[in-house]
Structure 1
Amino acid sequence: MLDHSHSTMAEGTDVGIIGGLAVAVWFLILDTIAGHPFQTPSLLGQVVLFGEARPDTNRLVFGAILVYTAFHFAVFALLGMGLVVLVHWAVRDSVVRYALLPVFLVFEVMFYGLLEVFSERTNTLFPFWAVVTANTLAALCMGIYLWVRHPDFRRSIQDIPLGDAPR
């Protein structure tokens, strides 16, 4: 039976925060190793939200860091809510599980594609491997949380394996 004892919005926000933290921590580690902690949200805030074609890479723009961080977590909260709805739906209808892989693949390439559109400068600032790794970490963290939180989803996979007809 589906667990309706929790709010999709609240759980989705939790899922989004988990994914957003995974990405933020990954880039904080990369930035710190490179000697420039918080450079990623500074640059993304400048490019994505402030529309700067040539972001200032020599200093941190505090306003860009704050605004981008809020934007980052808001987007992840919305993504988390969508994933929770999808998991709840997949428990009721096994065919919906086929949507999980395309959602993951779109998630993987969407952000990198947006970076390509916003500025050619971001090509060198955010290599493909770093973005794919960040998105994979986020997907794994969110997926593990949802897997643990939804025993009905796990049972539905055992009862009706992917590709099997509903009984």
Structure 2
Amino acid sequence: MRPQVFREGVTAGLIGAFTIALWFLVLDVIRGDILGTPVVLGNSLISLFLQPGELPSRAGAFLLYTVFHVAAFAGVGLLFAWVVNASERTPSAFIGFAGLFIVFEIGWLGWTAVLAEGTYGELSWLQVFLANLIAAGVMGFYMFRQHPGLAKRVELAVAGSPE
């Protein structure tokens, strides 16, 4: 992996992770349960590895989920940076990625709605959906600032101009 792709990917991932963390921090403060969302998610994550009824401390759940959240977004950011950099050479690749992103978001929305019906009713599908859109927006803004000519090349590819 080229250093530029790695740098852009990790940076975009950190931007996305921070954006979602900030979004849920604001919602948690409004609800009166500061850091409630990462604690709930950390408990659900660790429950995959513990005996039923065993849960880590609130701080342990928060730290576990934070590490997982940052690592997951770094991975997403790396994939996004790889696609954007590949799209510099083949702009139509970005169109395919945009389609996959939409399918992923719809799937994630459905999965969140299923979780909200069960144990994780505290997490509204709308809150998660908005968080994903906000994070995708700021990550996309960052990446397009790094590649200012890409939007025009993708627009030309959509219009049918030769790449």
State whether TM-score is above 0.5: yes
C-alpha distance in 2 between matches for 1:50 and 1:119:
18
Determine the C-alpha separation between the residues in 2 that align with 1:86 and 1:131: 24
Q: How many residues align?
A: 158
The answer for the alignment partner of 2:86 in structure 1 is 89
Query: Residue 118 of structure 2 aligns with which residue?
Result: 120
Q: Shift of the alpha carbon at 1:130?
A: 0.3
Task: Return the match for 1:153 from 127, 144, 150.
Answer: 150
C-alpha separation between the residues in 1 aligned to 2:82 and 2:126? 29
Matched, 1:164 2:163: no
Shift of 1:109: 4.1
Per-residue Cα deviation, 1:8-58 (whole angstroms, up to 9, x for no partner): 1121010000011111111000000000010011000100233377898xx
Matched, 1:30 2:27: yes
CA distance in 2, matches of 1:119, 1:10: 39
| C-alpha distance in 1 between matches for 2:137 and 2:72 | 17
User: Secondary structure at the residue paired with 2:77?
Assistant: helix
Tell me the residue number matched to 1:135: 132
Distance 2:24 2:62 in 1: 13
CA root-mean-square deviation: 2.7
Contact 1:47 1:118 in 2 (8 A): no
What is aligned with 2:101? 104
SS at 1:151 equivalent: coil
Q: After superposition, what is the alpha-carbon deviation per residue over 1:126-155, rounded to whole angstroms, capped at 9, x for unaligned?
A: 111001000000000000001111123134
2:75 to 67, 73, 78: 78
TM-score w.r.t. the length of structure 1 is 0.82
Q: Which residue of 1 aligns with 2:37?
A: 40
Q: 1:118 to 1:55 in 2, by over 3 A?
A: farther
Unpaired runs of at least 5, structure 1: none
Q: Where do 4+ consecutive residues of structure 1 move more than 6 Å? A: 52-56
> Contact (CA 8 Å) 1:9, 1:81: kept in 2 or not?
yes
8 Å contact 2:112–2:125 — kept in the other structure?
no
Conserved? CA contact 2:40–2:61, under 8 Å: yes
